[in-house]
Structure 1
Amino acid sequence: MLLLALLEAAGIAKLGASIGAGIAAIGAGLGIGRIGSSAMEAIARQPESTGDIRTNMIIAAGFVEGVALFAVIVCLLCLFL
């Protein structure tokens, strides 16, 4: 608790929260990009299973977005509390 108070007094906590939110957003973007890329490769290899691959891709992208949202919210809580 004392360390948090010292970091907040120095302004480093706000910088860390901002950087953390940015990293979370970049990570989510990269993750969803890789999911889409892999799904397109899988559809190109097996066009008959397009529906299953698309469904799994959307579910996985939703999970990545959920984790990124939690990370950004934690950073915002650190920023304002």
Structure 2
Amino acid sequence: MKLQTTATLALLLFLLLAPPSLSVSMAVGSEFCDSNCARRCSKASRHDDCLKYCGICCADCNCVPSGTAGHKDECPCYRDMTTGTGNRTRPKCP
């Protein structure tokens, strides 16, 4: 019992003192997409939603239009992504 408690305590101590490079990130993104989406969404009223959808679109298309709005012709894949099919189809990428 004492050995188990010591091992558990040692593991917790290691996790608390581990370098940040060992931490697991909730959002997986590339530096390219993260920086370009931060620029793209900098003036968005729904900043978190903009970053989420921009990140999804950037990961699929590997491009983000310049500026904070418009310019979607620079990246046709980004421009043409939609939320679905039928009457409620809307652009997916901000």
TM-score, reference length from structure 2: 0.27
- Report the structure number with the largest CA radius of gyration: 2
Structure in which a larger fraction of residues adopt helix: 1
For CA contacts below 8 A with separation 6 or more, give which structure has more relative contact order: 1
